[in-house]
A and B are shown apart, each in its own frame.
Chain A
């Protein structure tokens, strides 16, 4: 397929660009895909980008992990054909990125505590930087996976069978991202928590209706209603 133009003029805020791969770093079993950021905005932590894996039909939603003046970084768990194609990219290759998309975390919190599980820690390095390195509690299924905690300052690590909810301190404004059972457990302990959910998405901008999740008893599109939701568990 011919290459698309590298910048789009949509007033609705959709920005899609062909970005250069800087490198892919190993973080335990995870991979950190670093891209030259071009003219894309980094957005608010918790927002996501649709990254187009080479050879696949659909792009994959990935929350932004790192933002520097020149790079955007995405922490990816290579578990399927799309994520493996993304983490198999090498320097000099390019891929399309669309974003930032969706609603990120609200940052006007007084006593933030980041609570993450597994690959759900992906948005936390960027979030931590924007919140002034608040405390974090991160849960992983193995010591190897826990290597990702090095990306998050001031983090306390728990490894299964211990759970993050056992290490959560009370009296904080909780911002959480992780697997659904973890988010539900966190919400039960911290009713006002901001929770970043995930769902399969084909587009990321409200077109496909594929990412519907139940919110307040109704099926809504997570890409436009979320992915960060408050009091929704």
Chain B
């Protein structure tokens, strides 16, 4: 299953990209409308991209009145990314979504561009769980000492699945002035630089929880997606790659099948968790 990473596609401005995905994940919706952060909001680095968008969104009321009906008309399966600044805010939005025809809710408990929620992951997930019967995914930050512990906390609180990972905080300086390129200073690093970090997080969280995982981080090719599946993801999402190539979902899906069958897997998902239980490692080659 191929999704977009939250905040990396607007289905309303690019509907024909959205319909090439298995599910469309919305930009994070917060209780009140947010304009987002001051420009400059994006910068390219050598091996990634920094963004500081700041959760620009119409708020839950605007989302329900304007955005969601258009998304549903489009016929895409909708996952709603939910954000807030306290557990009760997440819970309020989840309650509002409970009777809506959305496929899942993804709790963004990890945006690097807004102040951290006051409560911990477990409290937020538990509050959301108590207010909706929808499928709940918790999107975690890789910037924690122990991602397995964070994953277990989400699982204990009732998450049905995990989205791993959000961006990780980074800084880029203007070469000439040596001042931050982004208006707010720091931003979230995505793209190829995030790929091994996402793989490690998926690998650890699969071992710790066995929950379904959407792998996110630097996927550009079908092989990158297959690696996340092998590490323990049952789906993956495209983020930064969508900016450069709106055809990426179609291309990556084709590559994924090809890469899986080239390795003897009947389907891409047949490679699920292969990294955890494949054949024993080959002995080291003796060179002396």
Interface residues of A (CB under 8 A from B): 1-2, 4-5, 8-12, 14, 16, 50, 52, 56-59, 81-82, 96, 98, 199-203, 205-213, 218-219, 224
Docked pose: A205 CA to B27 CA in angstroms: 15
Given A10-B17, A200-B40, A205-B13, A58:B246 Cβ within 8 A: no
Q: B residues 158-195 with Cβ under 8 Å of A?
A: 191-192
User: What number of B residues sit within 8 Å (CB to CB) of A?
Assistant: 38
> Among the listed B12, B40, B240, which residue makes an inter-chain contact with A57, where contact means beta carbons less than 8 Å apart?
B240
Is A207 touching B49 in the complex (CB atoms < 8 A)?
A: no
The answer to whether B247 has its CB under 8 Å from any CB of chain A is: yes
Docked pose: A86 CA to B237 CA in angstroms: 29
Given A207-B9, A210-B53, A58:B15 Cβ within 8 A: no
Most chain A beta-carbon contacts within 10 A, residue among B9, B51, B53, B246? B246
Q: Which residue of B lies closest to A58 (CB)?
A: B44
B3-21: CB near A (< 8 Å → 1, else 0) gives: 0000111101111110000
Is B44 touching A210 in the complex (CB atoms < 8 A)?
A: no
The answer to whether B276 has its CB under 8 Å from any CB of chain A is: no
The answer to whether B39 has its CB under 8 Å from any CB of chain A is: yes
What are 27 of the A-B contact pairs (CB < 8 Å)?
A: A1-B220, A2-B221, A5-B251, A12-B15, A12-B16, A57-B44, A57-B49, A57-B192, A81-B44, A98-B246, A199-B39, A200-B40, A200-B41, A201-B42, A202-B42, A202-B44, A202-B49, A202-B244, A205-B13, A206-B10, A206-B14, A209-B56, A210-B41, A212-B39, A212-B41, A219-B36, A224-B13
Q: Which residue of A lies closest to B39 (CB)?
A: A212
> Among the listed A2, A11, A16, which residue makes an inter-chain contact with B15, where contact means beta carbons less than 8 Å apart?
A11
> Among the listed A2, A57, A206, A213, which residue makes an inter-chain contact with B251, where contact means beta carbons less than 8 Å apart?
A2
Docked pose: A232 CA to B155 CA in angstroms: 50
Q: How far is the CB of B47 from the nearest CB of chain A, in Å? A: 8
Is B43 touching A209 in the complex (CB atoms < 8 A)?
A: no
The answer to whether B35 has its CB under 8 Å from any CB of chain A is: yes
Q: Which residue of B lies closest to A223 (CB)?
A: B13
The answer to whether B243 has its CB under 8 Å from any CB of chain A is: yes
Most chain A beta-carbon contacts within 10 A, residue among B13, B43, B191, B244? B244
7 new A-B contacts at CB < 8 Å, known A58-B44, A59-B244, A218-B35 = A4-B251, A52-B244, A98-B246, A208-B51, A209-B10, A209-B27, A210-B42
Is A5 touching B247 in the complex (CB atoms < 8 A)?
A: yes
Is A12 touching B7 in the complex (CB atoms < 8 A)?
A: no
Q: Which residue of B lies closest to A217 (CB)?
A: B35
The answer to whether B242 has its CB under 8 Å from any CB of chain A is: yes
Docked pose: A212 CA to B41 CA in angstroms: 8
Residues of B within 8 A of A59 (CB): 243-244
The answer to whether B22 has its CB under 8 Å from any CB of chain A is: no
The answer to whether B212 has its CB under 8 Å from any CB of chain A is: no
Is B51 touching A210 in the complex (CB atoms < 8 A)?
A: yes
Residues of B within 8 A of A213 (CB): 39
Q: How many A-B residue pairs lie within 8 Å, measured between CB atoms? A: 118
The 5 closest A-B pairs by CB, nearest first: A206-B13, A210-B42, A10-B16, A203-B243, A202-B243
Docked pose: A70 CA to B237 CA in angstroms: 38
> Among the listed B42, B49, B246, B251, which residue makes an inter-chain contact with A205, where contact means beta carbons less than 8 Å apart?
B246
> Among the listed B243, B246, B251, which residue makes an inter-chain contact with A14, where contact means beta carbons less than 8 Å apart?
B246
Q: Which residue of B lies closest to A59 (CB)?
A: B244
Is A8 touching B247 in the complex (CB atoms < 8 A)?
A: yes
Residues of A within 8 A of B245 (CB): 4, 16, 96
Q: Which residue of A lies closest to B43 (CB)?
A: A200
Q: How far is the CB of B224 from the nearest CB of chain A, in Å? A: 10
Is B220 touching A212 in the complex (CB atoms < 8 A)?
A: no
Residues of B within 8 A of A14 (CB): 14, 16-17, 246
Q: How far is the CB of B74 from the nearest CB of chain A, in Å? A: 11
Is A207 touching B42 in the complex (CB atoms < 8 A)?
A: no
Q: Which residue of A lies closest to B16 (CB)?
A: A10
Q: How far is the CB of B89 from the nearest CB of chain A, in Å? A: 21
Residues of B within 8 A of A96 (CB): 244-245
Given A2-B255, A210-B51, A210-B53, A58:B16 Cβ within 8 A: no
Residues of B within 8 A of A207 (CB): 8-10, 13-14, 17, 242-243, 246
Q: How far is the CB of A60 from the nearest CB of chain B, in Å? A: 9
The answer to whether B117 has its CB under 8 Å from any CB of chain A is: no
Residues of B within 8 A of A81 (CB): 44
Residues of A within 8 A of B40 (CB): 200
Is A11 touching B251 in the complex (CB atoms < 8 A)?
A: no
